Amino acid sequence: MPLDEEAFSAVDAEHLVAAGAFSEAERAAVYRAIETRRDVRDQFRPDPLPEALVRRLLTAAHNAPSVGFMQPWNFILVRKPETREKIWEAFRTANDEATGMFADERQSHYRALKLEGIRKAPLSICITCDRDRAGPVVLGRTHNPAMDVYSTVCAVQNLWLAARAEGVGVGWVSIFHEEAIKRILNIPPRIAIVAWLCLGYVDRLYDSPELALKGWRQRLPLDELVYEEGWPGEET
């Protein structure tokens, strides 16, 4: 039952706690996780992740912010090699199609990138978004229906950063036909697939994003992406 204004005030008085910056060491750890997070494609070790560790990663994901506190995510854990092989076949079909979308040297460059996480990583997690979970009218989603998907992406990022802190590599696979994955995992039509993540221990990570190191695309300068008070006027 929703609370009235007096009850709101009582909650504020009981549960508001002091805010403040983390210690220098804690801040450094947060920024290190952000700056050294990598998308792992091929370097996974085969040894399984401990259940307690997987639970910590899922808890981190579940603690993500969500608009209207809708918590629209679910996490499908996939460990069986036979299931991962079916997913890989679906990926290969889509990847062959993607290869043909690039031209000339770009196509050969694309083919050279190793994308073997589905087969090599001991754990995959399919993260989904239940767009009906909070009902037809959701606080904060009234004018932007995509906020449930954006919220689910926050769960993905939480899990990824926690995995980096735990020494676990993560690779995000996005090259597949959604309906193919839904058939394999028996996902209902109304549920949206947001991310397929490959997880496993890694011995080494690239010191910079792999796609930048291999010449696919470079990080844009931050100063070119920051505007003040609005979008800058275009020259005519």
Residue 81, pLDDT above cutoff 80: yes
% of the chain with per-residue pLDDT over 70: 94
| Segment 118-139, tens digit of pLDDT | 999 999 999 999 999 988 888 8
| Segment 9-19, tens digit of pLDDT | 888 888 898 89
- When mean pLDDT is compared over 108-112, 149-153, 175-179, the highest value belongs to 149-153
| Segment 194-231, tens digit of pLDDT | 999 999 999 999 999 988 998 889 999 999 999 999 99
Compute the distance between CA of residue 37 and CA of residue 163 in angstroms, rounded to an integer.
9
Q: Which pTM does this prediction carry?
A: 0.90
3-state secondary structure of 187: coil
Residue 59, pLDDT above cutoff 80: yes
Identify the pLDDT of residue 10: 84
* 175 closest CA partner among 104, 89, 79: 89
Identify the pLDDT of residue 112: 66
Residue 46 CB contacts under 8 Å (≥ 6 apart), including other chains: 120, 122, 200
